[in-house]
């Protein structure tokens, strides 16, 4: 790589990007002017709203107790209304802001029931209810004092404990805690936005202007040009994040935010922690820059790239939200998550609670994700069909587009089309499937599998411009493939149980969430067992395999190597089986998904993976139906030794028996058809 050429491209891209007003606005105007103005404006609006609430005393109606009414009448913050307005109807009509209804006679030692009515959806009514509750508590204390005095008892008789809570945190520690709850999210989002527009402009923008082809045809290696573009985007993202961090800290430390003083908060960040935060921003900026460049270069216009990158922005918001959730600690597992790990690292650095092991894991994982994003971007810039493809598709109405789409070359879907299909199916299953299962129970589950998974997969393969047999891998497997699939299933299933058992040792509470699943697949008689074999074994084996080892795996195999295609399809398969109750099924399901994907790829047949799927789910039904079989497979609270000992042998034998993958025949026009 020629560093001089890279530097030339870097200076060119920085010069052109900084001429863009949007970039300057995001990098300089927002951090330096908007933050101080925004916080001052928010503070003044809050004070203005508080004064508006206090400018007129709220009206309060009291019914059932003259002594309570007389006590509240002495309060200058309240205005008494007629007793007849102590109703919910008067509250809704706005005649009063709070109502007090008292039951029980005054002057007795009995407990009197007092009900305070207010409108929680109205700010004035909420304030009135709070004031009335405080005054009634004071009135109750005065009544208690009279009763004690009448019986000659000291005031301490009714107060055996005098509880006072006091935080030992200093103002600086409390400020660090508060700072760590919102500033990391702002830093991550500003780093993202700092890379967003430059990445689009340097990739899709140049393609739209027609200058990218000219640049790439220059007598210099393409990798030098790509490196210069990437460094420009990463530098802009880092600059945006750094300026935001400094501006935010200076805003808080300037003292203009008076609410911080009132709450006894002192916002500060030691130089050592600030430098570590900046170091953590480097791989984050690289990750966003490379990822955005790799996606944007696949688009043909600035607008198209914006649409493609917007979902990525929303996807980043979800892990960033972990920073503000209570009880979420930077454990090694969470620290390894993309974006979330480094955001939690920022939080702990700001609050002064960072630990060495999770911090190193978070930083190392962020570097690893950045490296993967670099590989992704480099491969995108290395493909001529991505750089110079038209990508515009057919013009005209939807009818013309559909006819043009169906008239295309018969092949398997692209990875993008496969993922789009999975996204649609997942959304339908989440919403429509939940409604079917909630209304029809087990029959709804059966209909969900057939109507939302199986039927759409078949319709996509038949109605689209695809080779239906290759898209769904509908090839008759050889006897050797069937035997190998059966052995691999029998060897892989106990290992999957072992993975699940190890997860339960780490997360014991997850076992309770599996109770509903166990109840669903437990048969009480032969008729119930046959129904469950149809419901949870045969139907998912057909419908889910058409989706995951059919459409998804075949589309991924069109452009990805076998190992990555199988791994990605297995991860998606595992994520599809994560329920609201527990995520404990993810790893075992992904493991069996890897085995089924490998068998389907080697044997070019989805029927082999269907057999494995049926065996996997059917064994669970049989185990829970027959107690003696269950005792053989599961010994107490640990996996049985015999299945685990035999599992590697059966798995190895099946993998050895699996036939080699045969080369795919040529297409109808004589050109090789992409391998499924």
- What pLDDT does residue 384 have? 58
Residue 616: both structure tokens together: 């996997």
> 629 CB contacts (<8 Å, ≥6 apart)?
622, 623
User: To the nearest 10°, the Cα dihedral for 157, 160, 165, 166?
Assistant: 80
Nearest to 334 by CA among 347, 342, 326: 342
Q: If we measure between CA atoms, which residue out of 289, 263, 286, 122 comes closest to residue 197? A: 289
Asked if 611 and 486 touch (Cβ cutoff 8 Å), the reply is yes
Question: Nearest CA to 290 among 338, 345, 218, 246?
Answer: 338
How far is the C-alpha of 66 from the C-alpha of 59, rounded, in Å?
Answer: 17
Instruction: Quote the pLDDT of residue 325.
Output: 77
Structure tokens at 560: 């990805």
Q: From CA 360, how far away is CA 395, in angstroms rounded? A: 52
pLDDT for res 570: 92
Confidence (pLDDT) at 669? 36
Interatomic CA distance for residues 143 and 111, integer angstroms: 11
Copy the structure tokens of residue 373: 């994003």
Q: What are phi and psi of 79, to 5 degrees?
A: -125, 120
Q: Can you tell me the distance from the alpha carbon of 181 to that of 349, in angstroms, rounded to the nearest whole number?
A: 11
The angle formed by the CA atoms of residues 114, 120 and 121, to the nearest 5 degrees, is 155
Q: What is the DSSP string of 288-304?
A: HHHHHHHHHTT-SSHHH
Structure tokens, 299: 């688009």
What are the residues whose beta carbons fall under 8 Å from the beta carbon of 380, sequence distance 6 or more?
A: 293, 294, 295, 297, 298, 386
Q: How far apart are CA 610 and CA 592, in angstroms?
A: 12
What is the SS3 assignment for 452-495?
Answer: HHHHHHHHHHHHCCECHHHHCCCCCCCHHHHHHHHHHHHHHHHH
DSSP state of 156: G
Q: Return all residues near 538 (Cβ < 8 A) that are at least 6 apart.
A: 614
Contact by Cβ (8 Å): 586, 578: yes
DSSP H helical ranges for 382-441: 384-388, 398-406, 415-428, 434-440
Cβ neighbours for 460, distance < 8 A, ≥ 6 positions apart:
413, 421, 466, 471, 551
pLDDT at res. 396: 46
Provide the pLDDT for residue 483. Answer: 92
Lookup: tokens for 428? 């339908």
Burial environment of residue 172 by CB neighbours within 10 A (0 to 12, 13 to 18, 19 or more) = middle
Q: What is the DSSP string of 6-32?
A: HHHHHHHHHHHHHT-HHHHIIIIIIII
Half-sphere exposure of residue 74: CA atoms within 13 angstroms, side-chain side: 9
Q: Where are the alpha helices (DSSP H) in 507-626?
A: 510-513, 515-520, 526-532, 539-545, 553-556, 562-576, 586-603, 606-625
* Residue 359 near residue 329 (C-beta atoms within 8 A): no
For 433-442, which contacts have Cβ atoms below 8 Å and span 24 or more sequence positions?
A: 442/520, 442/531, 442/535
pLDDT of residue 303: 78
Domain coordinates of the chain in residue numbers? 3-36+172-310, 54-145, 471-657
Say what angle helices 271-296 and 356-381 make with each other, to 10 degrees: 30
Enter the tokens of residue 36. 């101080």
Q: How many helices (H) and strands (E) does the chain have?
A: 34, 6
Q: What is the DSSP letter of 581?
A: S
Question: What is residue 413's DSSP assignment?
Answer: P
> Which residues of the chain are modeled with pLDDT < 50?
390-398, 401, 509, 633-636, 665-676
Question: In the chain, what is the greatest distance between 2 CA atoms, to the nearest angstrom?
Answer: 108
CATH 1.10.3470 fits 54-145, yes or no: no
Are 609 and 596 a contacting pair, CB within 8 Å?
A: yes
Contact 350, 179 (CB under 8 A): yes
């Amino acid at each position: 790589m020629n560093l001089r050429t890279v530097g030339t491209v870097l200076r060119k891209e920085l010069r052109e990007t900084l001429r863009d007003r949007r970039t300057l606005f995001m990098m300089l105007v927002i951090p330096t002017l908007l933050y101080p103005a925004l916080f001052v404006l928010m503070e003044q609006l809050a004070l203005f709203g508080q004064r508006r609430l206090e400018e007129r005393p709220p009206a309060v109606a009291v019914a059932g107790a003259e002594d309570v009414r007389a006590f509240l009448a002495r309060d200058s913050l309240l205005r008494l209304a007629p007793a007849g307005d102590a109703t919910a109807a008067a509250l809704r009509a706005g005649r009063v802001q709070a109502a007090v209804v008292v039951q029980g006679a005054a002057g007795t030692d009995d407990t009197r029931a007092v009900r305070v009515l207010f409108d929680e959806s109205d700010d004035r009514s909420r304030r009135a209810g709070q004031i009335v509750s405080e005054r009634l508590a004071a009135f109750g204390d005065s009544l208690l004092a009279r009763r004690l005095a009448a019986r000659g008892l000291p005031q301490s008789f009714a107060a055996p404990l005098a509880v006072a809570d006091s935080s030992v945190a200093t103002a600086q520690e409390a400020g660090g805690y508060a700072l760590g709850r919102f500033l990391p999210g702002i830093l991550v989002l500003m780093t993202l936005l700092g890379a967003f527009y430059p990445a689009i402009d340097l990739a899709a923008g140049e393609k739209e202007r027609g200058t990218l082809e000219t640049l790439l045809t220059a007598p210099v290696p393409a990798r030098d040009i790509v490196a210069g573009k990437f460094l420009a985007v990463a530098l802009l993202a880092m600059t945006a994040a750094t300026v935001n961090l400094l501006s935010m800290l200076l805003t808080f430390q300037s003292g203009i935010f008076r609410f911080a003083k009132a709450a006894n908060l002192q916002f500060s960040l030691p130089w050592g922690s600030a430098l570590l935060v900046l170091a953590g921003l480097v791989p984050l900026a690289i990750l966003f820059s490379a990822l955005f460049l790799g996606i944007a270069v696949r688009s043909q216009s600035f607008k198209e790239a914006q649409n493609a990158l917007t979902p990525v922005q929303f996807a980043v918001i979800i892990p960033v939200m972990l920073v503000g959730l209570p009880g979420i600690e930077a454990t090694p597992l969470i620290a390894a998550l993309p974006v979330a790990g480094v955001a939690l690292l920022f939080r702990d650095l700001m609050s002064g609670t960072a630990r060495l092991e999770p911090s190193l894991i978070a930083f190392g994982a962020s570097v690893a994700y950045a490296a993967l994003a670099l590989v992704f971007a480099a491969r995108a810039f290395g493909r001529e069909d991505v750089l110079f493809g038209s990508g515009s598709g057919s013009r005209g109405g939807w009818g013309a587009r559909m006819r043009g789409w169906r008239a295309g070359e018969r092949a398997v879907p692209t990875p993008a089309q496969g993922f789009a299909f999975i996204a649609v199916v997942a959304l339908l299953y989440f919403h429509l499937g939940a409604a079917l299962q909630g209304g029809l129970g087990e029959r709804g589950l059966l209909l969900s599998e057939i109507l939302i998974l199986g039927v759409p997969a078949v319709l996509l393969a038949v109605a689209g411009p695809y080779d239906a047999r290759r898209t769904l891998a509908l090839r008759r497997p050889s006897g050797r493939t069937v035997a190998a699939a059966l052995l691999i299933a029998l060897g892989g299933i106990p290992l999957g149980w072992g993975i699940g058992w190890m997860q339960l040792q780490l997360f014991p509470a997850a076992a309770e969430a599996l109770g509903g699943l166990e109840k669903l697949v437990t048969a009480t008689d032969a008729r119930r067992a046959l129904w469950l074999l149809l419901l949870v074994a045969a139907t998912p084996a057909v419908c889910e395999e058409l989706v995951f080892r059919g459409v998804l795996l075949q589309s991924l195999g069109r452009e990805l190597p076998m190992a990555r295609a199988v791994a990605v399809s297995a991860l998606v398969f595992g994520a599809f089986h994560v329920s609201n109750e527990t995520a404990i099924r993810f790893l075992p399901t992904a493991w069996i998904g890897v085995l089924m994907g490998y068998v389907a790829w080697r044997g070019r047949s989805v029927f082999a993976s269907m057999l494995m799927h049926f065996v996997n789910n059917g064994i669970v039904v049989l185990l829970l139906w027959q107690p003696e079989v269950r005792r053989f497979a599961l010994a107490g609270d640990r996996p049985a030794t015999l299945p685990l000992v035999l599992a590697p042998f059966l798995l190895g034998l099946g993998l050895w028996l699996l036939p080699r993958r045969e080369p795919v025949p040529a297409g109808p026009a004589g050109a090789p058809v992409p391998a499924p």
